[in-house]
Amino acid sequence: MPGSEIPVANPPALPSHLPDSVLDLAVQIPRKQLSKDDSESLRNFQRAACYIAAAMIFLRDNVLLESELQREHVKPRLLGHWGTCPGLILVQSHLNLLIRNHDLNMIYVIGPGHGAPAALAALWLEGSLEKFYPGEYDLSYSGLKNLITRFSVPGGFPSHINAETPGAIHEGGELGYALAASFGAVMDNPDLVVACIVGDGEAETGPTATAWHAIKYLDPKESGAVIPILHVNGFKISERTIFGCMDDKEIVTLFSGYGYQVRIVEDLDNINDDLQGALEWSLDEIRKIQKAARGGEPIVKPRWPMIVLRTPKGWTGPKELDGKLIEGSFHSHQVPLPKAGTDDSQLSVLKDWLSSYKISELIKDGKPNGSILRSLPQNPEKRLGQFKTTYDPYVGLKAVDWKDFAVEKGTDQSCMKVTGKFLDKVFQDNPTSIRLFSPDELESNKLDAILDHTQRNFQWDEYSRANGGRVIETLSEHDCQGFMQGYTLTGRTALFPSYESFLGIVHTMMVQYSKFVKIAREVKWRGDIASINYIETSTWARQEHNGFSHQNPSFIGAVLNLKADAARVYLPPDANCFLSTVHHCLKSKNYTNLIIGSKQPTAVYLSAEEAAQHCKDGASIWKFASCREEPDVVLVGIGVEVTFEVVKAAELLRSICPELKVRVVNVTDLMILVEESKHPHALSKERFVELFTHDKPLLFNFHGYPTELQGLLFGRENVARMTVEGYIEEGTTTTPFNMMLVNRVSRFDVAARALKAGAASGNKEVQAKLDECLEVVKNKVAEVREFIMDNGKDPDDIYDMAKFE
Ligand SMILES: Cc1ncc(C[n+]2csc(CCOP(=O)(O)OP(=O)(O)O)c2C)c(N)n1
């Protein structure tokens, strides 16, 4: 394999051309020597945890090497990632010591979550697995045996850190998000320190690259701190890392420019003194920054500490196999001895490797010896796996009555303007438990009223620094998402408003997060958390300054694909419904909520009371626009603009073809459409028929991609009578009404479809005048098109509220 045969272990970086003077930027601190006891305790903890982690990957029996290791003691499928484990264990052992020495509130966020054996081994040693899985993973021989033999097999822990891992607040799979989530966790948590280890491969990702800047959004008066630990072990799966090929000069200049003080930890012979000294220094620096801010004299652009940890990948593992380096090379990334169960020479290397930890000295009768436990916090609740904020943190919000912000029926209102005012009050009443993360679109999305009593929390800007603030506006959707995750998983509530088109940037990140939440719901010992809340606006339907590039409603599909009990998608048709929905979502727990609405003034159809009922029901017949009798056709609007077009179509049909009996239904909660019992919100069969009839043509005008709605309707009775129109990738910088025309969801398109459907379903009167009516509709389209082309705007009366006799 190209690049695979690097002849030296742990190869150093080539020297850069930067002047030596930049090395003055690297923090030099006098080496502190750990006490003999602490040093021994750390070494023993690391030895024991490395043994257990390795055993988890390999052994299905003889777990403490009680007898000579045989082929049959080796698991049939060898799964897991060894290379990152020694580094993760090293850090975990030190953090517990730091907590013990300073009584810290600390969380450990692990970027390289593929190193689950490391985390689990350490959590077993500190007794956290026993606490959460009593009888299963006790500090006993059988508990240890279970841990080792069940790892990566059905029924045991999976290969990556997930919500089953005590102390975890981050799904360990898709790399890149640990750092932003860590910063979200410390926001409004002034006493919390999160130590976040970032793999040097992970650090190559876009999301991590942008997350380093998060210190610039952290006010040390109101928030805690993150200690980033960049783990430079030099390799990814099979390639060297960028950071591993950067020398110290390049690394310190890069991170100094980002605003950090960099301490490089690389003294492999005295790694424990080196690392503990660096962590103590980090804490001192954090305290200085916080003390100044909390004492009223905040430091301008404080230089937050960070650690760069250079240790070999797969450290303490086998040195080489068949002439190929393992320790200090990418060969240690997953299973360094893949044929240990079938090849005697590999089995022998495994035996030597596992024996090198001398586990019988460290674990007796299934219990870690006293020296291992000495470095742990005495109060178990402070141990990394047992800190309550990581598993039962929900604080909830003081409720604000949304009806106080309701607007008058019959007027035109912007959902966002109205919601901004409501959120302003929510933020005032909940000054430390809600935040909003926005990719520089708050003004543009017309939510600016939120800033009436709070501000943007940007510490590098002299005009907003040192003043706190509920709002972070950074043009990194990844940071917004990561902050929201960390903030939510530590008990608080967050909102992420965005242009509709760009939320897809965080699609997989949102999916990863929802995987964490799904498993968290299944884990008995985890409490509830708030939902994560997306507001999508500046939608494809109303592009003012923008156009085709800004049209993409695909995030709806991303949320629809989540587990039914986690996904909620709302398309409130007017400002009062929008308010009611936002209020509902802020109270809800454990969901991914997506709320889509317009920032432009649009018709308010329902009073506050009517809106409350409509949102509760998820859908209703809009009687003001519907016939009294059994309809010939049912027109369904889902989404603000397309619903307006449906109502206008009903108005038009009433004037040109009153013989056609039309019913108008609005759906505000998309999930009610799903087949009965497939979603908690799904309408019963009876209710579905009440709204949509058994057999009448059902014409949906949908805000999103038609196929996504079609997928939801599959399984409902008589789908052949249904048609779904929606966004079909047509658009440019054009007028709002032309956008409806080009996507074939305008009132004229709806009316023409309704006429044809009414005639086809047997209404003789409609049949008789079908051609004539279609001609009228066609002429109207031509007229409006011509007006738009001639004037560069829509006809003035096109958005007049529909009137029904
Ligand atoms: C976003 C993403 N891309 C690719 C992968 C596949 N992958 C798993 S581990 C890994 C290498 C990670 O290297 P690093 O972050 O340095 O971790 P370590 O060396 O400590 O294992 C890769 C590329 C992934 N999990 N996530």
* Domain count for the chain: 3
Q: What is the mean pLDDT of the chain?
A: 95
The SS3 call for residue 342 is coil
Give, for ligand 1, the residue of 237, 238, 331, 481 to mutate: max count of ligand atoms closer than 8 Å to Cβ.
237
Is 747 found in the same domain as 657?
A: yes
- For residue 457, give the CATH number of its domain: 3.40.50.970
Task: Give yes or no for residue 469 CB within 6 A of ligand 1.
Answer: no
Is 588 found in the same domain as 455?
A: yes
**How high is the pLDDT of residue 2?**
47
Is 99 inside a domain boundary?
yes
Is 104 found in the same domain as 247?
A: yes
CA of 74 to the centre of ligand 1 (A): 26
Is 278 inside a domain boundary?
yes
What average pLDDT does this structure show over 201-223?
A: 98
Is 180 inside a domain boundary?
yes
Task: Give yes or no for residue 177 CB within 6 A of ligand 1.
Answer: no
Point out the ligand 1 atom lying closest to the alpha carbon of residue 204: 15
Q: pLDDT tens digits for 438-495?
A: 998 888 889 999 999 999 999 999 999 999 999 999 999 999 999 999 999 999 999 9
Q: Which of 390, 420, 446 is the last residue of a domain?
A: 390
Is 23 inside a domain boundary?
no
Point out the ligand 1 atom lying closest to the alpha carbon of residue 233: 19
Position 351 confidence tier, pLDDT thresholds 50, 70, 90:
very high
**% of the chain exceeding 90 in pLDDT:** 92
Q: Say if CB 90 and CB 312 are below 8 A apart.
A: no
Is 265 found in the same domain as 412?
A: no
CA of 265 to the centre of ligand 1 (A): 22
Residues 6+ apart with CB under 8 A from 165: 116, 119, 120, 123, 157, 385
**% of the chain exceeding 70 in pLDDT:** 100
Is 359 found in the same domain as 226?
A: yes
CA of 214 to the centre of ligand 1 (A): 22
Task: Give yes or no for residue 332 CB within 6 A of ligand 1.
Answer: no
Is 407 found in the same domain as 383?
A: no
Task: Give yes or no for residue 632 CB within 6 A of ligand 1.
Answer: no
Residue 663: φ, ψ to 5° = -115, 135
Name the closest-CA residue to atom 18, ligand 1. 84
What average pLDDT does this structure show over 490-506?
A: 94
- pLDDT surpassing 50 at residue 358: yes
CA of 201 to the centre of ligand 1 (A): 6
Spatial separation of the C-alpha atoms in residues 252 and 264, rounded to whole Å: 9
CA of 91 to the centre of ligand 1 (A): 18
Spatial separation of the C-alpha atoms in residues 709 and 642, rounded to whole Å: 14
**How high is the pLDDT of residue 301?**
98
Give, for ligand 1, the residue of 177, 202, 330 to mutate: max count of ligand atoms closer than 8 Å to Cβ.
202
Spatial separation of the C-alpha atoms in residues 8 and 577, rounded to whole Å: 65
Name the closest-CA residue to atom 21, ligand 1. 84
**How high is the pLDDT of residue 4?**
54
Three-state SS sequence of 55-118: HHHHECCCCCCCCCCCHHHECCCCCCCCCCHHHHHHHHHHHHHHHHHHCCEEEEEECCHHHHHH
Q: What number of other Cβ atoms are within 10 A of residue 371's Cβ?
A: 18
Point out the ligand 1 atom lying closest to the alpha carbon of residue 88: 20
Q: Which of 362, 390, 418 is the last residue of a domain?
A: 390
The SS3 call for residue 258 is helix
Task: Give yes or no for residue 159 CB within 6 A of ligand 1.
Answer: no
Is 503 found in the same domain as 355?
A: no
CA of 238 to the centre of ligand 1 (A): 10
Amino acid identity of residue 500, one-letter, is E
Is 610 inside a domain boundary?
no
What average pLDDT does this structure show over 161-189?
A: 97
Strands 662-667, 633-638: pairing is: parallel
**How high is the pLDDT of residue 185?**
98
CA-based nearest residue to 232, from 128, 170, 313: 313
Is 382 found in the same domain as 422?
A: no
Task: Give yes or no for residue 176 CB within 6 A of ligand 1.
Answer: yes
CA-based nearest residue to 282, from 249, 308, 247, 300: 308
Tokens standing for 782? 């031509």
Transcribe 681-711 into DSSP letters: TPPPHHHHHHHH-SSS-EEEEESS-HHHHHH
Is 17 inside a domain boundary?
no
Is 374 inside a domain boundary?
yes
Is 361 found in the same domain as 473?
A: no
Q: Which of 390, 425, 457 is the last residue of a domain?
A: 390
Spatial separation of the C-alpha atoms in residues 170 and 424, rounded to whole Å: 30
Task: Give yes or no for residue 241 CB within 6 A of ligand 1.
Answer: yes
Transcribe 426-452 into DSSP letters: HHHH-TTTEEEEESS-TTTTT-GGGGG
Alpha helices by DSSP H, listed for 532-681, are 555-560, 575-587, 608-617, 640-656
Is 31 inside a domain boundary?
no
Is 412 found in the same domain as 375?
A: no
CA of 223 to the centre of ligand 1 (A): 30
Point out the ligand 1 atom lying closest to the alpha carbon of residue 235: 19
- For residue 695, give the CATH number of its domain: 3.40.50.920
**How high is the pLDDT of residue 732?**
84
Point out the ligand 1 atom lying closest to the alpha carbon of residue 112: 17
Task: Give yes or no for residue 86 CB within 6 A of ligand 1.
Answer: no
Name the closest-CA residue to atom 17, ligand 1. 199
Is 416 found in the same domain as 381?
A: no
Name the closest-CA residue to atom 7, ligand 1. 237
Q: pLDDT tens digits for 510-538?
A: 999 999 999 999 999 999 999 999 999 88
- Looking at the whole model, is its pTM more than 0.75? yes
Name the closest-CA residue to atom 25, ligand 1. 174
Give, for ligand 1, the residue of 89, 175, 329 to mutate: max count of ligand atoms closer than 8 Å to Cβ.
175
CA of 333 to the centre of ligand 1 (A): 9
CB-count burial class (<10 Å; 0-12, 13-18, 19+) for 99: buried
Task: Give yes or no for residue 235 CB within 6 A of ligand 1.
Answer: yes
What average pLDDT does this structure show over 757-781?
A: 96
Is 507 found in the same domain as 459?
A: yes
Boundaries of domain holding 259: 41-390
**For 365-406, where are the E strands, in sequence order?**
367-368
CA of 400 to the centre of ligand 1 (A): 44
Point out the ligand 1 atom lying closest to the alpha carbon of residue 87: 20
